[in-house]
Structure 1
Amino acid sequence: MASTSVDVPSDGGQLDLEKMASRHSVVPAGELLAGEADAELLAKLGYKQELRRNFTMIEVFGIAFSIMGLLPSIASTLAFSIPAGPVGMVWGWFIASGCIFVVGLAMADLGSAMPTSGGLYWWTHYFGSPKTRNALSFLVGYSNTLGLVGGLCSIDYGFALMFCSVIVIARDGNWAPSNGEVYAVFVACVLCHGVLASTLSKIMGKLQTVFVVMNLVLIAATIIALPVGKRLSTERNDAHYIFTQTENFTTWPTGWAFMLSFLSPIWTIGAFDSCVHLSEEAANAAKAVPYGILMSIGSCWILGFIIMIVLASCINPDLEAVLGSAYGQPMAQIYYDAVGKNGTLGLMSLLFIVQFLMGLSITVAASRQTWAFSRDGALPFSGFFRPISKKFGYIPLRCVWGCVFLAAILGLLCLIAPAAASALFSLAVAGNNVAWGTPILCRVVWGQKKFVPGPFYTGDRFSIPLAWFAVVFLVFGIILAMFPTGGPNPTPETMNYTVVINMAVWGGALGYYFIDARKWFTGPKTTVEEAPENMLAAGGPASSIEGVEGGSGSDTKGVGEKVGEKSESAI
């Protein structure tokens, strides 16, 4: 493993922590937000320490894992995998999750080397070519910000559907929610997340452990209750059905129906970049970020595979009846068939509670990305969103509520039709895939000579091939997310409007850049008093200091080459 290191004072002594606080923080010297190594590494990336580092390595993993909300996410996306039959459910999950793990490895390399809250667009600018870096960085920042807000929308919309399905079950199917009622539940959920994300900041890291435990309790309850509910072996499907039975309830070819089943894991395991956005709130960030990414993906890969096997074992072989359940959710029907009305009410209630916690975690992650992007002056009203609230625990309070209100507006799609609402799911997929893939592509095409590994590194032999595989899979995921899931001749009700929404996002961001932002957006800005010389030379944040033009990019020295010789253990 290569190490990321930190400058040591010329006199050989330890840096005084109070001096560190005054140099790299906006708080008084006596109130430290970070340890020496973390603050120094962040300063080398061009930023002061402004957020308090409340998150340990386990808690960084926890926020990603809780946003993924494994079982609630599977429940929300079963409609993508069931049409391909048990093979789509089980093997579609396993294969796609393995590919996502490779994406995580490529991102972990970058997250360990350069841990900053705006990592994705920061890396894009740092590694991009001189001619494209500003435009690509601008695109990635907007795609990632709106992708995270889209994730908040889709999670809370899923919560609203689950909440309403519990009422439907309790009333024995004699009630159906209107679009307006679903939206009302959605808005109430989003507003609650805003309140909690604002007031629980000091214990948000600790809460992630609670959220992880609740996720694991729900998973354990499901994988025990379903087989027990199907007490007789004749009531459960055999191994041949689970692992080899293919179906196709679409008008696509069977092979493509199987590929569309990838959308379930792609959407579910789609929050690992939240570890990057917490870089400036994580202690020992150069290790916490990559391990948070990989542990969250890996745990969802294995546990999700087990869950899918259990579901395929206990599902009604009449899959069309499950997809068309009167309860509005295939998962609700699977529960009902196995454990009856009361058991279903209990499990679905726990399910939507965990879904609610997912929304709270992604509200935190989305607000940190929004804050980082406003810190670099790229968002409209950046000056308004930029300040940190000391009263509420050194958090970007205005960004929290900006994300909440934007989510409430995007959620108005719920009022149009289910097809429009489902585009919220794909907005999170396609938008984030662009944001994840672009910096990885920039690194291997233009910036490999500037890349200096951090404490986590996949090695010279594997790092570049893994990065290329990640880029190809992410491009495939974008294409997949834009296909109508039912077949090649969709009606207005079954059309996939992802292409419309994402083209509006990407086209709007690039249009905004070339019409106006290119005149003033020069990439990430530095907030430290003195610009690190290597940043200026290599086109990093220092190139965006007011009155200083960006470097040519010809200097191939990276961040780590300027960061001194302190050992890996210091990070």
Structure 2
Amino acid sequence: MSKDEAHLAGLGYRQEFFRKLGLFENWAATFLSMNFISGIPVLFGFAMYTGGPQAAFSNWTMVGGFSFIVSLVMSEIAAAFPTAGGIYFWSYRLGGERWGPFLSWMTAWWNWAGWVCVVPGVQQGSTNFLLSALEIRYPDAAVLSQGWFSWLLTSVGMIFAVLPNVISQRILQLYFRFAIFIFFALFALYWIWFPIKASGNFQSREGVFNNFYNGINSGDEKQASDPYCWVVGVLFGAWVFYGYDASAHLAEETKDASSVVAKGMWMSTLSTWFLSVPTLIIVLFCIQDFDGIVSASYSNNWAEYLVQLVGENGAIGILSLLWVDSTCATAACFLSAQRVTFAISRDGVLPFSRYFRRLNRNKVPVNAALLVFGLSICITCAVIGSTVAFSAITATATIATNFSYLIPIAARYTVGRKTFHPAAWSLGRYSLPLGIIAGLYIMFLFVVLLLPQLYPVSMETLNYAPICIGIVTVVSTVGWIFPFGLGGRYWFTGPKRTIDEIDGSLKK
């Protein structure tokens, strides 16, 4: 066995994937999941009416910094336990014999639910780019405002996101390179073309850093205060800065995984933060008509920003590229959802797990991909009859994934503090203070993202994320208590195996 295979066997698993990926693919998995080039435009309109440029810049910078701390804490754990779908496995090992099975079960369900919601959320954001381009070109086309048409476009885009994840690992490597190329092509447009077009008509310093706008009160009276509006706007950055575990989900396909996975996590988060902050500043200084952006009626208000800045043809071109780029981001998120589905099925968490853990001859979990694809299509159906479904999907995905991170982080410094042995990559004496900061930040996000985002609160403006989170809580809890096929405490012992159980040819 290689060093990686021996480490994996010691953790209780047999090498099943081809292990040919390196630092680039591991870094790209998380970097593309975050993808700020598409992430900034997706919720740009939301950021403008939940605090305006001032709050958008502050929230983005703050969230990026705290997210980097979370990525460091998770990297330390990932270096010690480099397994696919690693979050739930971390919880098992850190929880010990007493708490491990329960913590592992809960982490698996929350992490899986989060990633399954991420995929349709990102692709729906991608569809809004395409719809906006069509609305610019065909302003009188009534079909563009129909929910079923939006669902259809999202479903078609989802197919393109699935393909690189079901063919072969070689195709996946080529996809990563293509996606990074598209990303930096748009990055260059933001940095070069935008300032050129805005030349002579930039926003003033006061117009960016002192321009606060409270647009979440749609009634006759002001029910939500300015500080409340500012806090709600945290979703703008939180929707992009998460998914650190994408690197961990490729652990069993990565060479020298113990160190490479950790580097992929924190390097991708740090590079996203450092590159995105000045990009956001450029975008904010290039705003031409703030009131026009806030009051725009496109599927994504970013379209109005582009029309003002580069004209209709330029806006259509950039929106089309953003659709491609965001679909690539969906594929990266799909990869994580697929690998998590495979991993938790390997340990019997899902019903019919024996089907979803199977690999084809190219060592690809196709059945897991089909399950994620089917669920994503079903979740996207919500946009047919609801105007707030998109924000609910994004908030649910952000809450669920971040909460799944909190469980192993908390276990690392409580029940697992004496049994955890850091790998070669560790935080040393800074581990505990950084872990406390990471835990408090995630708890802050959990509360904030459940708050109403528009007032007065009605069936049309209600934040449905609490209902979605309640469903995840009930399903995971009931599945643990009652043995009706979901698993649970009656037979689920967690991912615990001996080497003999993995492969009879390997002796302990």
TM (normalized to structure 1)?
A: 0.83
Structure 2 partner of 1:381: 352
Which string of whole-angstrom CA distances, capped at 9 and with x for unpartnered residues, describes residues 463-505 of structure 1? 0111111111111111111112124x31111110000001101
Structure 1 partner of 2:175: 207
Secondary structure of the 2:368 match is helix
Secondary structure of the 1:50 match is coil
Please point out which of 372, 375, 391 is paired with 1:403. Answer: 372
CA distance in structure 1 between the aligned counterparts of 2:369 and 2:274, rounded to whole angstroms? 33
Q: Is the 8 A contact 1:81 1:260 kept in 2?
A: no
Structure 1 partner of 2:384: 415
2:189 corresponds to 1:221: yes
Cα distance, 1:50 vs structure 2? 0.4
2:407 corresponds to 1:441: no
Q: Is the 8 A contact 1:226 1:335 kept in 2?
A: no
2:42 corresponds to 1:76: yes
Structure 1 partner of 2:23: 57
1:452-463 correspondence runs (5 A): 452-459=421-428, 461-463=429-431
CA distance in structure 2 between the aligned counterparts of 1:527 and 1:327, rounded to whole angstroms? 57
Please point out which of 132, 148, 163 is paired with 1:180. Answer: 148
Structure 2 partner of 1:13: none
Structure 2 partner of 1:536: none
2:306 corresponds to 1:335: yes
Structure 1 partner of 2:451: 483
Please point out which of 119, 130, 136 is paired with 2:86. Answer: 119
Cα distance, 1:191 vs structure 2? 2.6
Structure 1 partner of 2:112: 145
What root-mean-square deviation, in Å, do the aligned CA atoms of Structure 1 and Structure 2 show?
1.8
Cα distance, 1:208 vs structure 2? 1.2
2:67 corresponds to 1:100: yes
Q: Is the 8 A contact 1:135 1:510 kept in 2?
A: no
CA distance in structure 2 between the aligned counterparts of 1:300 and 1:362, rounded to whole angstroms? 16
Please point out which of 56, 66, 77 is paired with 1:89. Answer: 56
2:248 corresponds to 1:276: yes
Please point out which of 25, 47, 53 is paired with 2:13. Answer: 47
1:166-315 correspondence runs (5 A): 166-172=133-139, 175=142, 176-232=144-200, 235-251=201-217, 252-315=224-287
Which string of whole-angstrom CA distances, capped at 9 and with x for unpartnered residues, describes residues 323-366 of structure 1? 33132212111111001011111111111110111111111111
Cα distance, 1:526 vs structure 2? 2.5
What amino acid does structure 1 have at the position aligned with 2:160?
C
Which string of whole-angstrom CA distances, capped at 9 and with x for unpartnered residues, describes residues 443-477 of structure 1? 10111111111121111x21011111111111111
Cα distance, 1:528 vs structure 2? 3.3
Q: Is the 8 A contact 1:59 1:206 kept in 2?
A: no
Cα distance, 1:231 vs structure 2? 2.4
Secondary structure of the 1:418 match is coil
What amino acid does structure 2 have at the position aligned with 1:53?
R
Please point out which of 453, 466, 473 is paired with 1:506. Answer: 473
Q: Is the 8 A contact 1:60 1:288 kept in 2?
A: yes
2:338 corresponds to 1:371: no
CA distance in structure 2 between the aligned counterparts of 1:317 and 1:164, rounded to whole angstroms? 22
What amino acid does structure 2 have at the position aligned with 1:208?
F
CA distance in structure 1 between the aligned counterparts of 2:93 and 2:159, rounded to whole angstroms? 36
Secondary structure of the 1:493 match is coil
Matched positions, count: 492
Cα distance, 1:130 vs structure 2? 4.2
Structure 2 partner of 1:522: 493
Change (3 A) 1:284 1:156: same
What amino acid does structure 1 have at the position aligned with 2:161?
H
CA distance in structure 2 between the aligned counterparts of 1:117 and 1:309, rounded to whole angstroms? 37
What amino acid does structure 2 have at the position aligned with 1:279?
A
Q: Is the 8 A contact 1:104 1:293 kept in 2?
A: yes
CA distance in structure 2 between the aligned counterparts of 1:399 and 1:258, rounded to whole angstroms? 39
What amino acid does structure 1 have at the position aligned with 2:317?
G
CA distance in structure 2 between the aligned counterparts of 1:229 and 1:169, rounded to whole angstroms? 19
Q: Is the 8 A contact 1:43 1:528 kept in 2?
A: yes
TM (normalized to structure 2)?
A: 0.93
What amino acid does structure 2 have at the position aligned with 1:314?
C
What amino acid does structure 2 have at the position aligned with 1:282?
T
Q: Is the 8 A contact 2:45 2:293 kept in 1?
A: no
CA distance in structure 2 between the aligned counterparts of 1:163 and 1:247, rounded to whole angstroms? 28
Cα distance, 1:80 vs structure 2? 3.4
CA distance in structure 2 between the aligned counterparts of 1:318 and 1:57, rounded to whole angstroms? 41
Cα distance, 1:189 vs structure 2? 1.6
Secondary structure of the 1:478 match is helix
1:6-25 correspondence runs (5 A): 20=1
Cα distance, 1:90 vs structure 2? 1.2
Tell me which structure has the larger Cα radius of gyration.
1
Change (3 A) 1:66 1:223: same
Which string of whole-angstrom CA distances, capped at 9 and with x for unpartnered residues, describes residues 207-249 of structure 1? 21331222121111122222211221xx210122222322222
CA distance in structure 1 between the aligned counterparts of 2:35 and 2:80, rounded to whole angstroms? 28
> How high is the sequence identity, in percent, across the aligned residues?
25
CA distance in structure 1 between the aligned counterparts of 2:437 and 2:121, rounded to whole angstroms? 28
CA distance in structure 2 between the aligned counterparts of 1:130 and 1:527, rounded to whole angstroms? 15
Secondary structure of the 2:43 match is helix
CA distance in structure 1 between the aligned counterparts of 2:352 and 2:161, rounded to whole angstroms? 23
Which residues of structure 2 form unaligned runs of 5+?
218-223
Which residues of structure 1 form unaligned runs of 5+?
1-19, 21-35, 533-561, 563-571
Structure 1 partner of 2:221: none
Structure 2 partner of 1:30: none
Which string of whole-angstrom CA distances, capped at 9 and with x for unpartnered residues, describes residues 137-177 of structure 1? 11110111111110001011111111111111112465433
CA distance in structure 1 between the aligned counterparts of 2:466 and 2:259, rounded to whole angstroms? 37
